[in-house]
Structure 1
Amino acid sequence: MKHNPLLNVLLMTGMLLAGQVDAAVRPLLTRVVAYAADRETAVEVVNGSSETYMVQSWLEDLQGGDSNIPLVLTPPVMKLEGNTQGKLRLVVMKGAIPQDRESAYWLSIQEIPPKAKNPSENRLLVAIRNRIKVFVRPDGLQAGDARVAAAQVTWSIEREGGKNWLKASNPTPFYISFGELAVGNGAGKGIRLEDKKQMAPPKGTMRYLLPQTLKPGKLTVIWSSIHDWGGVGEEYKAGVAL
C-alpha cells in the first residue's frame, strides 16, 4: 500500500479529538443494577445531537469476554433520532447467575455517526463508545444492604516483591466500587491510591499498591463507595500497621 501522509494526519487528529469530543449518544446513568426478580431492566439512552445516529450495544464480562453472559440485551442495534431518548432492555437468565452474590458485567454503547449528506463533503467522523457497569443481583439481595456494604470492608497489609500492598477483604455479597481510597501516616486526606478503580469482589479480596513514600508505622485508610445511582456514599476510616 502506498504511504499516505495525509491519512496519518487524519488518524492522529481523530485520536486526539476522541478524548475531547462529547458523545452524541450516551446512557443516562453511569451504572445499571438489574434484579433477577424483575421481568426486565431498562437502560435509558439519549441522543443529544440534532442528527440521527445508529446505536450498537453489547455485553462483556469484566475480563472482556463475550461468551456465557447470563443476560439478554435487546436491541443490539437501534436507530435513534436527534434529540430523543431510546431504551435498551436487559433480561436476567435467573438460573445462570450465582445465587449467593452479585455479578458484574460491562455494557458498551457505541454510536455510529451519520454519513455526510453531500458525498463531496470532507468530514472527520469520531465515533464515541461509552462503557458502564451492569450489576446483577439474585433474589434476596437488596439495595439497602448494598448501600452499607462498604462499612464491612476490612484492611490489612501484604508484602511481596519488595512492594507493599493494601488488601481489602469484602465479606459481603456485593461488589465494592471505591469513590475514595486513600492512606496516610497522619491527619488529613492522605495519598489517593491510583488503582482504586479495581473493585473489591463479593466475598473476596483485592489489593492496591501503596506508594513507597509512606513511612512505616500506623496508617489511616480512608474510603467510600459508589452507590447504585452513581453517587459517593459515606466515608469510613480504619487503622492498619505498615
Structure 2
Amino acid sequence: MLSYKSLLVFNKRLVFILLTLTASFNGECTVNVDKSRVIFSSGELTANISLHNSHKEPILVQLWTDAGDPLTTPDKVKTPVLVNPPVLKMQPNEVRNIRLLLVSTEDLPQNKESIFWLNILQIPPNTNQVSKEKNKLILPLRIRLKVFVRPKSVGDITSDDFDKILFSKVNSNTVIIKNPTKWYITIPSLRIADIKSKPIWLGPFSHISLHVKNEINEKESVTFDVIDDVGAIHRRVSVIN
C-alpha cells in the first residue's frame, strides 16, 4: 500500500497523472472548504479557512501556495503567503481551521491586487486501491483556491466596479474587453446578441480580444455575469462601443 510519506511531497509526475486520469475516472472529494477564495484585504496579514473531512476514514492533507504554475512542487515554491499548518491529519467529520500568513509585501505592486493559489491536497488512506465500483479509482485529489492580496491603496472591489468593464468593436468579428480596474475580474458567462462566450478572466488594467463567428454591430447589447468576493454572481448589461 502506498504510504502517506511517499506522497507527502507533491511531484510533477503525480500532477500529470491526476490531470490525465480525472477525465476518465470518478474521484471522491472528501475535504470540504468553507470558502471559494481567500482575500488579504486592505493590508491584512492573516486570513483563515476551515476544512471539513466528510470521509468515514482519517485523511492526510497537505497545503501550500504557488504563483500560478500548478506543476510547482511545495519544496520549490516561492510566494509571500505561508500556510499553517502545512500538513495535518484529519479524523472523520473533523473540522480544522487553517491560517494563511502574508509574510512580505515588498515585491508586490501597490497599485493593484496580486494573485496566488492555495493548493489543498487530500490523501486518503486507500490511495492506490481500486474501488469495487467499476471504472472508479481512488486518487489523491487537489483543490486550488485563488488567493488575492490587496494593498491598502487598492481596497475592496464593489458592485459598481463591475460596470466599468468596457466592450469595444475592432472589426465585424472581434471585440476588445477591457478591465480598467485594480482587481481581477472573473466573468463566468458572457453573451453578445445570440453568441455565448467561454468564461473570461481579466487581470487588473488588462484586456483581451474576443473573436466570434457572427457579425457584431456597434451598440450591440452585452449581457455578462461577474463573481464577487464571496462567490456570488452579479449580472450586468452593457453595449459595444
Query: Which TM class, normalised by the smaller chain length?
Result: 0.7 to 0.9
Aligned counterparts of 1:138 and 1:24: Cα–Cα separation in 2: 34
In structure 2, the gaps of 5 or more residues are 1-17, 132-136
Structural mapping, 1:92-241, within 5 Å: 92=102, 93-115=104-126, 123=131, 124-143=137-156, 145-158=157-170, 164-184=173-193, 190-194=194-198, 196=199, 198-210=200-212, 212=213, 214-218=214-218, 219-233=220-234, 235-240=235-240
* Count of residue pairs the alignment pairs up: 212
What SS does the corresponding residue of 1:230 show, helix, strand or coil?
coil
Distance 2:155 2:124 in 1: 39
| Contact 2:85–2:98 under 8 Å retained in 1 | yes
Amino acid paired to 2:186: S
CA distance in 2, matches of 1:96, 1:68: 12
1:70 to 57, 80, 102: 80
Give yes or no for contact 2:41–2:155 (8 Å, CA) kept in 1.
Answer: no
1:56-89 CA-to-partner distances (Å, cap 9, x unmatched) read 1222223447544221222221111110112222
Native 8 Å contact 2:63 2:119 kept in 1: yes
* CA distance in 2 between partners of 1:81 and 1:176 (Å): 37
Check whether the contact 1:36–1:94 (CA below 8 A) recurs between aligned residues: no
What amino acid maps onto 1:61 in structure 2? Answer: A
> How far apart are 1:13 and its partner, in Å?
8.3
Q: What is the RMSD computed on CA atoms of the aligned residues?
A: 2.8
Q: What letter matches 1:239 in structure 2?
A: V
1:57 aligns with 2:63: yes
Kindly provide the CA deviation profile for residues 164-208 of structure 1, in whole angstroms up to 9, marking residues without a partner as x.
433221111111111331111xxxxx32201x2x31111221233
Q: Unmatched 5+ residue regions in structure 1?
A: 1-10, 185-189
Distance 1:83 1:146, change over 3 A: same
Q: Is the 8 A contact 1:177 1:226 kept in 2?
A: yes
| Larger-Rg structure | 1
Q: Please tell me whether the aligned partners of residues 177 and 200 of structure 1 are also in contact (alpha carbons under 8 angstroms).
A: yes
Shift of residue 158, structure 1, vs aligned partner: 3.7
Contact 2:66/2:78 (<8 A) preserved = no
Contact 1:34–1:90 (CA<8 Å) still a contact in 2? no
Distance in 1 of aligned mates of 2:169 and 2:96: 47
Give the whole-Å Cα distance in 1 for the aligned partners of 2:22 and 2:113: 38
Q: Please say if residues 167 and 206 of structure 1, whose CA atoms lie closer than 8 Å, have aligned partners that are also in contact.
A: yes
Structural mapping, 1:75-90, within 5 Å: 75-90=85-100
Structure 2 letter corresponding to 1:223? F
Q: Is the 8 A contact 1:26 1:109 kept in 2?
A: no
Change in 2 beyond 3 A, CA 1:88/1:165:
farther
Q: 1:36 to 1:55 in 2, by over 3 A?
A: farther
Q: 1:40 aligns to what?
A: 46
Deviations 1:5-64 (A, max 9, x none): xxxxxx99876333xx34001322111112262231012211111211001122222344
TM normalised by structure 1 equals 0.76
- 1:28 pairs with one of 21, 28, 34: 34
Q: Give the whole-Å Cα distance in 2 for the aligned partners of 1:206 and 1:133.
A: 21
